[in-house]
Structure 1
Amino acid sequence: MDSDEVVAALGGPRAGNSQVAADGGHWMRYQDIGVTGIYGPGMLLVGVAIDAMEGPLVRLGQVELIARVPSQARAEIEDLARQEGAAVRVNWSGDPEIAAWGVSMGTALEYGLTAEGYPEPKDRVITSALFVSAELAEAPYEAGPVMHWCDVREREKSSGSWPVKTNQERSHWDWSPQKAVGPLRFGMTPQQVADALGGEVPAGRQGHYPYWWWRSGAAGQWTLTDDRFEKTGVSAHYSYPEGHPVLGAVTVHGRTGPQITYAGIPLIGATPSRLDAAMLQHIENHDLGLHFTPSGSPVPAGLRIDVNATRAGDAAISEVTFVSADWEL
């Protein structure tokens, strides 16, 4: 199908957003139905991504694929694959991928609504899925059209297990708001960051060329944006106030990062709902102004952090990004 035929099949034009790459790759997110169409050259449909929260329910045989508890979906998928003689492997996110069916599973954090109608993160993840054509099925996330939509080459790869350190196993860091996180001071160069972490070499680096569709080997200067330090359990994020990278924010990983507290509240590796409840109670007890982070978590007004959730198997646990004074949240 071409893009016009997809629109007709969906009942006419729909609200959404899209991007087009220089090589003809294109994707279109049909936002109101939670579906993304991924197109190759000639605007021919080669992939369909279904959102965990907003997408339609999709069934493969008798197996429901979308908005499921991941371990339950995995068990049913593997059982169906055995019955049909299909091989199941683990994709980059640690989820089942079946080339014979052109299916690559994923997950996303589940959200609900508060009594006041605000979105709030839940304490678990639920399944999403990518469906691709036969020519992309052997390596969906290595195919150009899919990479234009979701480039995972520089992301942390999962083996399919998500071990979580206990609070006793974690180191404990101090935090000086808008100044420093443990040994990392905002304004450090990437080399100073690595030195402060005992010379640890980044396990992964992310960046970009001047234009998003450029790849390695293209003209233009590659710009470093993030370093991931797996041993320490943090990621460093860089800004360029004077044309060279300096530390502007630090994300402490939920599963493996050091513990940091605020007003006696452990921020890292916590159950999201309990962390939100503790923050709201602290705000109420001390008559502090209420602010919601970009991800929807409540924090005291003026506290420049972003509380996020990361996957721990079927569950979600908290991780936090601490930012400098001039970092945009």
Structure 2
Amino acid sequence: MAWWSRKPEDERARWELDPLVGVGPLRFGMSPEQVQAALDGAIAYVSQGTEDRLAWQTFHEVEVTAIYGPGPRLAAVALDGRSGPLVRLRGVELIDRAPSEVRADLLELAGREGASVRVNRSGDPEAAAWGLSMGARPGWALSPEGYAERTDRMVTDALCAGPELAEDPYGTEPVRQWCKVREERGAHSGEWPVRAEGDRPRWGCTPLEGVGPLRFGMNPREVAAALGGEPPAERRGWFTWEGYGAEQWELEQDRFDEAGVTAHYWYRDGFPTLAAVTVDGRTGPRVEFEGIPLIGRPVTEVDAAVNRYVEDSGIGLRVGCAGDLGPDGTNIFVRADRAGDAVISGARFCAEDWEDHG
């Protein structure tokens, strides 16, 4: 979803989840043509796929993503929490609420129905009996002046899966391909501890060159070595089709949980090299820019400080694809990271030619 297009509640569709059968007008097993017809002819943005190998489609008019299995046939539906349909399950409102409230309601419903609820890869409730896997993302609101601005709260979204994916939606193709997850170690605890400021190392940053011990242009082995040899907790990437059915997997990012950073790569001369570093708001090192603490603060507080800085300096403000703010000429962006129901600030530091896509 575009961060600036949050819909008022009275303009959002209201759907019901029919577990393992469908959600709203969509039914698992539909063809792409049937999905489009069920969505009243909404125009699809094809995120990935070819004519005979469609992976998923995002419909921005209704803010849902249709994820396809073989056929292609509808296998899962991702629902945007900020502007997508408001979905209910047995009277439980699933979308655009505080994650802890939805979790409590689902556990109560599971108790009544004898359903098993576990914690998924994002730390949210997941139930195979319902084909439901909850998630959350930072919330937005309209300012008194009428423009979109970030808030300090998370809101729920959801992935609804058909029977083939219900047992492990995020661990099964095609959802893994949609998420670009290649390797993942360990499971989320469902807790959101925030590392104390005194327990975080202090890193310096040089805009357009690097942050802490990481320098743009490093290869993945050099990145891991600079972080003390820590192995990535998760690797993400994508497949490129080389022709004749051959596929090449290309590394996009490595997440390092102990260091609290994610390394993002681009391909120059056919090899991945470091192009951006995201510092996690909950666990990452302390980093300042021009006296502004960027990490682990209420995101609205840091946004306000960045706005004051650019106004005072006259250098201009850049807004990233996800609505992240940053001083012009630095390619530094303030991120919105999750801490349970709350949002705290992280930051992304990018090489000069890196285009941030959220």
Task: Tell me if both proteins adopt one fold, taking TM over 0.5 as the criterion.
Answer: yes
Counterpart for residue 41 of structure 2: 13
Gap change, CA 1:119 and 1:152, over 3 Å in 2: farther
Gap change, CA 1:170 and 1:149, over 3 Å in 2: same
Q: Find the residue that maps to 1:211 and give its secondary structure.
A: strand
Which of 181, 193, 198 is the equivalent residue of 1:168? 198
Separation (CA, whole Å) in 2 of partners of 1:174 and 1:9:
52
Matches within 5 A, 1:203-222: 203-211=233-241, 219-222=246-249
Q: Does the CA-based 8 Å contact 1:23-1:41 persist in structure 2?
A: no
Q: Does the CA-based 8 Å contact 1:295-1:306 persist in structure 2?
A: no
Counterpart for residue 170 of structure 2: 141
Please tell me whether residue 81 in structure 1 is matched to residue 110 in structure 2. yes
Q: Find the residue that maps to 2:203 and give its secondary structure.
A: coil
Separation (CA, whole Å) in 2 of partners of 1:213 and 1:115:
53
What's the offset of the Cα at 1:314? 0.7
Deviations for 1:154-206, whole angstroms, at most 9, x for unmatched residues?
Answer: 46752211111122221111111112311122222323222222232333333
Separation (CA, whole Å) in 2 of partners of 1:235 and 1:273:
22
Counterpart for residue 224 of structure 2: 194
What's the offset of the Cα at 1:220? 5.0
Gap change, CA 1:244 and 1:112, over 3 Å in 2: same
Q: Find the residue that maps to 1:207 and give its secondary structure.
A: strand
Separation (CA, whole Å) in 1 of partners of 2:168 and 2:112:
23
Please tell me whether residue 41 in structure 1 is matched to residue 74 in structure 2. no
What's the offset of the Cα at 1:31? 1.4
**Normalized per residue, which structure has more strand?**
2
Separation (CA, whole Å) in 1 of partners of 2:227 and 2:298:
27
Separation (CA, whole Å) in 2 of partners of 1:137 and 1:303:
44
Q: Does the CA-based 8 Å contact 2:324-2:336 persist in structure 1?
A: no
Deviations for 1:71-105, whole angstroms, at most 9, x for unmatched residues?
Answer: 00000000011011111111111111111111111
Deviations for 1:217-240, whole angstroms, at most 9, x for unmatched residues?
Answer: x84554333222222111222233
Counterpart for residue 256 of structure 2: 229
Which of 99, 102, 109 is the equivalent residue of 2:131? 102
Q: Find the residue that maps to 2:61 and give its secondary structure.
A: helix
Counterpart for residue 53 of structure 1: 82
Gap change, CA 1:141 and 1:23, over 3 Å in 2: farther
TM, length-normalised to structure 2: 0.82
Gap change, CA 1:313 and 1:244, over 3 Å in 2: same
Counterpart for residue 271 of structure 1: 298
Q: Does the CA-based 8 Å contact 1:97-1:103 persist in structure 2?
A: yes
Q: Does the CA-based 8 Å contact 2:180-2:236 persist in structure 1?
A: no
Q: Find the residue that maps to 1:136 and give its secondary structure.
A: coil
Matches within 5 A, 1:116-127: 116-127=145-156
Residue identity in the other structure for 1:120: E
Residue identity in the other structure for 1:294: C
Deviations for 1:7-57, whole angstroms, at most 9, x for unmatched residues?
Answer: 3333x3112212436885542222111222233333433322211011111
What's the offset of the Cα at 1:254? 1.2
Counterpart for residue 66 of structure 1: 95
Q: Does the CA-based 8 Å contact 2:200-2:285 persist in structure 1?
A: yes
Gap change, CA 1:268 and 1:213, over 3 Å in 2: farther
Where structure 2 has 5 or more consecutive residues not aligned to the other structure, the ranges are 1-29
TM, length-normalised to structure 1: 0.89
Deviations for 1:232-275, whole angstroms, at most 9, x for unmatched residues?
Answer: 11122223333333322211111111000112111011111110
Please tell me whether residue 314 in structure 1 is matched to residue 341 in structure 2. yes
Q: Find the residue that maps to 1:283 and give its secondary structure.
A: helix
Separation (CA, whole Å) in 1 of partners of 2:243 and 2:159:
21
What's the offset of the Cα at 1:63? 0.9
Count of residues in Structure 1 that have an aligned counterpart in Structure 2: 325
Q: Find the residue that maps to 1:59 and give its secondary structure.
A: strand
Q: Find the residue that maps to 2:129 and give its secondary structure.
A: helix
Residue identity in the other structure for 2:216: F
Gap change, CA 1:223 and 1:232, over 3 Å in 2: same
Q: Which moved more, 1:237-246 or 1:20-29?
A: 20-29
What's the offset of the Cα at 1:107? 1.1
Separation (CA, whole Å) in 2 of partners of 1:135 and 1:241:
39
